Amino acid sequence: MNRIQRLFQEKKEGILNIYFTAGHPGLNDTEDIIIELDKAGVDLVEVGMPYSDPLADGETIQKSSSIALKNGMHLDLLFEQIKSARQKTDIPMVMMGYYNQVLQYGPKKFINRCSDAGVDGLILPDLPLFEFEEKYKDIFEAAGLGISFLVTPKTETHRIQKIDEVSKGFIYMVSTNATTGGEASFSNEQLDYFQRMKGLELQNPRLIGFGISSKKGYDAACSHSNGAIIGSAFIRALENGQNLSSTIHQFVNSIKNG
């Protein structure tokens, strides 16, 4: 059992998953951000691998990605940073990025580096389900690496069930049919979707992400699923903050306690 599975076994509600783009704001902030997020009481950390053409991401993450790349972030360095952070924390970590990054690095080598660095799961939004099943499922299982696929309000039930069958760790429920970054106040359509997902009794826990930026959004997400994923709002806080540690603690506190 890896750290993600253990987390969801121990904690069923109110999971807080924070995303940040590695290499932003500073090239070498990765380790400090992970450690401080852990200390601040975050349950799961999602490390974004900056990409030149992040199709599924909104403006904030696009901008942070191009800054990170300009700062010189690359995968070898990122694996070293994560490995170093892993010596100091047991917080579950997933890496999120685009399939082309894994393809060029070499999928086998990439997965080995994940295991070696203590990464627990991957999110690759543009990796097709069938390709994962045919090419990678067995290697992921052997490496004890989880995989989370995305579900949106427009995903049909039979496809959700298929995604649940293939995912291992949690399902990433995209709150809206929109690229990340917008403001969340859930509509009736979204609430119907959350209920529909609940009713399917999936094997994987569900985390709701995209557009959550406040305690209100976090609480709402938690009341309809196992927890929330916050990305853009955290990146904006990092951009505006002076001191990394106090910014992170203040941000997490504002999400959990208002």
Query: What is the binding site for other proteins (CB under 8 A)?
Result: 51-53, 55-56, 58, 62, 66, 69, 74-75, 98-105, 125-128, 130-131, 149-152, 154-155, 159, 174, 177-179
In the bound state with other proteins, the residue whose beta carbon lies nearer, of 100 and 254, is 100
* Residue burial 3-14, b: 16+ Cβ < 10 Å; e: rest: bbbebbeeeeee
Contact 16, 44 (CB under 8 A): yes
In the bound state with other proteins, the residue whose beta carbon lies nearer, of 25 and 153, is 153
Contact 60, 232 (CB under 8 A): yes
In the bound state with other proteins, the residue whose beta carbon lies nearer, of 93 and 150, is 150
Distance (Å) of CA 203 to CA 1, 110, 119, 214, 249: 15, 27, 22, 28, 33
Catalytic site residues?
A: 46, 57
In the bound state with other proteins, the residue whose beta carbon lies nearer, of 163 and 252, is 163
